[in-house]
Chain A
Amino acid sequence: MFAFITSRILQAIPVLLVVGFIAFALFAYVGDPVTIMLGQDYTAAQREELVRALGLDQPFIVQYAKFVWAAVHGNFGLSYRLARPVSQLILERLPATIELAVTAAALALLVGVPMGVYTGIRRNSPTSRLFMVFSLIGVSLPTFLIGILLILFFAVLLGWLPSFGRGDVVHLSHWTTGLLTVSGLKALILPAITLGMFQMTLIMRLVRSEMLEVLRSDYIKFARARGLSERSINFGHALKNTLVPVITIVGLQLGGLVAFSIVTETVFQWPGMGLLLVQSIGVADIPVMSAYLLLVAVLFVAINLIVDLLYYAVDPRLRLDRRSMTGGK
């Protein structure tokens, strides 16, 4: 197991180097930081001095190495727009995005999986058909439209929930949380539904189709023939066998939730990383953009590692080599 994790982490290094290279290339080729930093009036001498100070006169490969070295130490430079360290900016925004993404993911899983199981078992019941129609809407409506419709109904027409922002937050050392105040929780509901809707319906449809497949299998038929309870067959034997493909998709989707909460955060003016990114793109704030890019890459690598570990937990067939080495159990 240790060897497996180590090898996975080693495999992740080239991936991150490549992403880092792209992030670095943004610096080098998109816009000219010197021009941006100098403003409109400058002399050639000033320019040359700044170029030297920034190390831009050094060979490309040296610059890249320096960038990687700094990134490894969590240093992504200063934001052009706010003139503050990028790492600090991202750390400030991270809690909001994580709370939103985790809530959306929990919602998607806790609602999506049971709905998938239900529609898989009672294929033709009216409720199942209703769920399927609902899921079609969830899969096909764009996120921003769902967000805007939710705002229209629950914030504008009914006035039940706030339409933007994060409500009151509580500071717990480096972490700001909106989960401890009523207004924070109220503010979380609409964005979480908006962000989680697509994943929820996707998970539901995935679980459903996997359930339909597994319920046809011989071992389910044999379990029925042994008189096991429906509950055990559906939620134990069948659901567990749907998990491997479901984990794969859900893992990737959760990465997507954090990385691409941009739309939802924009619609609800949610003060998270997505909003930061959108604002940064607007003014070509390249350090923020490249740091965000790297962070997303790290996130995906980490989630993939967790997904691989979950495979091991779910499917004993993958543990084969380890077991045979220790000679059975």
Chain B
Amino acid sequence: MPLLEVQNLTVEFPTRRGVLRALDGISFDINAGEVLGVVGESGAGKSLTGAAIIGLLEPPGRVAGGQILLNGSRIDNLSRDKLRPIRGKQIGAIFQDPLTTLNPLYSVGRQLVETIQTHLKLSDRDARERAVQWLEEVGIPAARQRIDAYPHEFSGGMRQRVVIALALCAEPRLVIADEPTTALDVSIQAQIIALLRGLTRDHGTSVMLVTHDMGVIAETADRVAVMYAGRIAEIGPVRDVVKHPAHPYTEGLMGSIPSLEHRVERLRQIDGAMPRLTAIPRGCAFNPRCPKVFDRCRNDRPELMEAGVTRAACWLYARGAAHV
């Protein structure tokens, strides 16, 4: 049984001008110990998926359909009180900007100890000891001396290490990392990703890694889900999605990444822009920009279907659709 199952998840935002459907029936699994990368353009719904899983959708956003199962039991319909022991202990979260995710008025030690004691029955002394261990584990030099320092006394990269320690300190089974390196210097990004990958591997933690950096995904993830306009366009093992993309959108995405192996005069680009949520076209959401579009794409919406090793939401693979 997969650790996390997301089935047909739909997230809507009621607005004055009608209901916006930000996530439209997305389904995927994450297995124990697995790293699932989630890529897509801004506004494709990547971060929203993570927020929905951990129950932190900003109102008025709400789960309008589908379900989310953790270890086979539903967590999308839990009350706030029932959800609290799951957050941090079962599912951890790492956010984008380490400069704003730490409370500026509490020392990092205090934030760690509070989180540890919320989930584990430990005395003040043991919790503090555990906090020091975590700071050492995420690579804070002189952790024992630095534990009473405040967030502003750390650099951005160091703060993100503290954030990772905070997200992992109650040993969650799954951690949702929402663009954990976007706000960092390029030189630090690789370190943080390596740290995250190493720690989660050591602790057997599954990761849902949300990013728009295909390079990070290619290095880190086992499988990847490509999102487009609130839907999953393609999902499959990283190697196959990168080398042999099935969905024309994924193909375009891969073509737009510079590579050392293949020298090209000019990187390919996908014409047009992702549609806004208010104006998602009928049929396949990608059809106005798709180079391989045909009639069916403009009328019927494709579900995920077998496309070689990966699964893609594209009518090009409709012959295999019979058994899906």
Residues in A lying within 8 Å of B, measured CB to CB? 217-219, 221-230, 232, 237, 240-241, 314-317, 320, 323, 328-329
A225-B56, A226-B167, A317-B152 known; A218+B101 contact, CB < 8 A = yes
CA distance A232 to B145 in the complex (A): 26
Chain B contacts with A in 81-138, Cβ cutoff 8 A: 84-89, 92-93, 95, 97, 100-107, 114-115, 118-119
Residues on A with beta carbons closer than 8 Å to the beta carbon of B54:
225
Interface string of B56-97 (1 = CB under 8 A from A): 100000000000000000000000100011111100110101
Query: Could you jot down 7 A-B contacts, CB within 8 Å?
Result: A219-B102, A221-B101, A224-B56, A226-B87, A226-B92, A227-B87, A240-B106
Q: B148: CB under 8 A from chain A?
A: yes
Q: Contact between B56 and A226 (Cβ–Cβ < 8 Å)? A: no
Q: Helix, strand, loop or mixed for chain A's interface?
A: helix
Smallest CB-CB separation from A232: which chain B residue? B114
Q: Which residues of A contact B95 (CB under 8 A)?
A: 218, 221-222, 225
Cβ-defined contact, A226 with B115, below 8 A: yes
Task: Give the residue name and chain of the B residue nearest to A223 (CB).
Answer: B103
Instruction: Assess whether B313 is interfacial by the CB under 8 Å rule.
Output: no
For A218, list chain B residues within 8 Å (CB): 95, 97, 100-101
Would A225 and B88 count as touching, CB distance under 8 A? yes
Inter-subunit contact A314/B118 (CB<8 Å): no
In the A-B complex, list the 10 residue pairs whose CB atoms are closest, starting with the nearest: A227-B88, A227-B87, A225-B93, A218-B100, A226-B88, A316-B150, A222-B101, A219-B103, A218-B101, A226-B115
Q: Contacts of B145 on A, CB cut-off 8 Å?
A: 328-329
Q: Which residues of A sit under 8 angstroms from B166, Cβ to Cβ?
A: 222, 226
Q: Is the CB of B163 within 8 A of A222?
A: yes
Extra contacts, 16 of them, besides A225-B54, A229-B118 (Cβ < 8 A), are A218-B95, A219-B101, A221-B56, A222-B101, A225-B87, A226-B88, A226-B93, A226-B118, A227-B85, A227-B87, A228-B118, A230-B80, A237-B103, A315-B104, A316-B152, A328-B153
**Is the CB–CB distance between A227 and B146 below 8 Å?**
no
The interface on chain B, measured as residues whose beta carbon lies within 8 A of the other chain's beta carbons, has a size of 36
In the complex, which residues of chain B have a beta carbon less than 8 angstroms from the beta carbon of A219? 100-104
The interface residues of chain B lying within 8 Å CB-to-CB of A320 are 152-153
Q: Residue B149 at the A interface, CB < 8 A? A: yes
For residue B41, give the distance in angstroms from its CB to the closest CB of chain A: 22
Nearest CB of B to A244, in Å: 9
Residues of B within 8 A of A217 (CB): 100
Q: Within 8 Å CB of B163, what residues of A?
A: 222
The CA of A317 and the CA of B105, in the complex, are separated in Å by: 8
User: Given the complex, which residues of A lie within 8 Å of B107, measured CB to CB?
Assistant: 316
Interface centre among A218, A229, A230 (most CB of B within 10 A): A218
Cβ-closest chain A residue relative to B90: A227
A316 to B: closest C-beta gap in Å: 4
B218-238 toward A: CB 8 Å interface, digit per residue (1/0)? 000000000000000000000
Contacts of A316 in B (CB 8 A): 104-105, 107, 150, 152
Q: Are B102 and A224 in contact (CB under 8 A)?
A: no
Chain B positions within 8 Å of A226 at CB level: 87-88, 92-93, 115, 118, 166-167, 170
Q: Is the CB of B102 within 8 A of A227?
A: no
Chain A residue nearest to B100 (CB atoms) is A218
Residues of B within 8 A of A315 (CB): 104-105
Set A224, A225, A230, A240: member contacting B92, Cβ < 8 A:
A225
Whether the pair B104, A227 counts as a contact (CB closer than 8 A) is: no
**Complex: chain B residue closest to A218, CB-CB:** B100
A216 to chain B, nearest CB (A): 8
A contact residues around B167 at 8 Å (CB): 225-226
When chains A and B are docked, how far (Å) is the Cα of A314 from the Cα of B107? 12
A228 to B115, CA, bound (A): 7
Chain B residues whose CB sits within 8 angstroms of the CB of A230 once the complex forms:
80, 84
A317:B104 contact, CB within 8 angstroms: yes
